[in-house]
Amino acid sequence: MRILADRYSLEDCVLDGPHWSYWCGYDGVLRRSVGILVVAPDHELESEVLAAARASAGAEDARVLRVLDVLTDDEGTCLIIEWLGAASLEDQLADGPLPDVDAWRTTLELALALTSVQAQGLGHGALAPHWVLRGDDGRVRLLGLSIASALSGAPEDPDSLAARDAYGLGALLYAALTGRWPGAPEASDLAPAPQQSGHAVRPRMVRAGVPGVLDDVASRALGLPGRGEPLTSPAAVAAALELAGEHTRGFTASDDDDPAQPADALATSRRRRRRSVPLVAAVCVAALLLVPAYLGVRSLAEPEHQATVTAPPSASATPSPTPTPLGIGIPVVAIHDFDPDGNGTENPDQVKLAIDGNLATAWHTVQYFKRPDLGGLKPGVGLLLDLGSEQQVAAVTVHLVGLGTSLELRAAKVYSTRADDYLPLARATDAGTIVTLRPVSIATARYLLIWLTSLPPVGANFQGAVAEVQVFRS
């Protein structure tokens, strides 16, 4: 068994193709399953895949399996991805079409997810059945956001991306209704859809009984001639599907699938069969022993504290999330934004989202222009955690949004409005989306400062975000 960065083990190859492989792996630190996408160094689009991974890590829709970490060295690039133990849509369709209501619901969830991330400038660009996972409980998750398009060398134009995703949604709905694939033959192992005059025939001509409203949505998204105005964006497909649901008896959204909840990364079931798929299907990484260049945590010794004593801010109690195997959880009594070198406030209405136990919600910094170091305007900004009393702190885990945040863990026994009065305990540079900060020795502190010093890109600007903070004692 190969171990990556002394942390991630590769257990089962799920997919493979030219210069890449996709594995079910295991995170030995957080004790959970992960997907591991390995791209070999001889892949001609390796740099484009890396850029796409960084962009997709900022996706804020829980129906998208996000990139959690990136490891790279001379041997290649390895992407650590959220894991859902579920069969791909391609595997499920090998046994025949889905029930009409499941085909409708699956495509609608995907359309809503892509509509959500399109607002962030993101898209998939190469939709195919093997990118879609469906759990036994009806949950739908999308794999390969942005990465699939980069692997295929597709153009990055945003308008073209929206149109490609609309077409892909139509193709997925067609496949779910008929068990046949109307898109590029190399994108799926399913039998191809029958053709007429150079176009796929509409779904109702392949399988009798397909509801007319769904036949219409699939045909319009695919741009089939004579089927009405084409649907050219995920939002347009979603709206058409919602309207179709209102006019079809028995079509209701699933109560079991709450998109506000994070994807289940602890599931242990495997896909039913391993298969080789074309390059456009890739999400992965060669089983290579890589060096963690993007998750470098360096601990600092704790010096003697000499802070000025002032009264702490008032706060209401908020519990911390359930502890992980890192240690016994320490509840966070209160949390505040901390912006001593700016205007004194940084989205204070969002701060409780960083300790609400939900990785799909987050506190965000404001956006900064031109430079990742907060536009060069100030040395840092962050979150101040009040533990209620002095505690023995052994580790702090921070779940970030986006790749490339640099941050420090600082601490104090008394409250101060000055960042320099909080003593540096540990730092991470160019972190992934999960980082554990550990002091060299157990630190005694009541206040902990999560201090962000460099932010990941968001479009043309830079913005940091913290989805969750967990504090532990040994």
The tokens for 137 are 């409980």
- Range(s) of the chain covered by CATH 2.60.120.260: 296-473
CB 365 within 8 A of CB 341: no
| Separation of CA 439 from chain center | 28
The predicted structure's pLDDT at residue 291: 30
The predicted structure's pLDDT at residue 274: 37
Which of the 8 DSSP states describes residue 413?
A: S
**Model confidence at 338, in pLDDT bands (50, 70, 90)?**
very high
175: left (phi over 0), alpha (psi -120 to 50) or beta: alpha
**Model confidence at 301, in pLDDT bands (50, 70, 90)?**
very low
H helices of 186-298, where?
212-222, 234-246
**CA atoms lying within 13 Å on the CB side of residue 154:** 26
- Range(s) of the chain covered by CATH 1.10.510.10: 88-145+154-246
CA-CA distance, 355 to 97, in Å (whole number)? Answer: 42
Quick one: 250 exposed, middle or buried, by C-beta within 10 A (0-12, 13-18, 19+)?
exposed
Max avg pLDDT among 40-49, 62-71, 351-360, 407-416: 407-416
pLDDT tens figures, 408-459: 999 999 999 999 999 999 999 888 888 889 998 888 999 999 999 999 888 7
Average pLDDT of every residue of the chain: 80
The predicted structure's pLDDT at residue 417: 92
The superfamily CATH assigns to domain 88-145+154-246 is Transferase(Phosphotransferase) domain 1 (1.10.510.10)
307: left (phi over 0), alpha (psi -120 to 50) or beta: beta
- In words, the CATH class of domain 3-85+268-281 is alpha beta
- pLDDT tops 50 at residue 269: no
- Range(s) of the chain covered by CATH 3.30.200.20: 3-85+268-281
Give me the sheet containing 368-369, strands edge to edge: 368-369, 461-462, 457-458
- pLDDT tops 70 at residue 273: no
pLDDT tens figures, 355-410: 988 887 899 999 998 899 998 899 999 999 999 999 999 999 998 988 889 999 99
- Which CATH number does 296-473 carry? 2.60.120.260
The tokens for 345 are 């406030």
The torsion angles phi and psi of 32, rounded to 5 degrees, stand at: -150, 155
CA-CA distance, 453 to 348, in Å (whole number)? Answer: 18
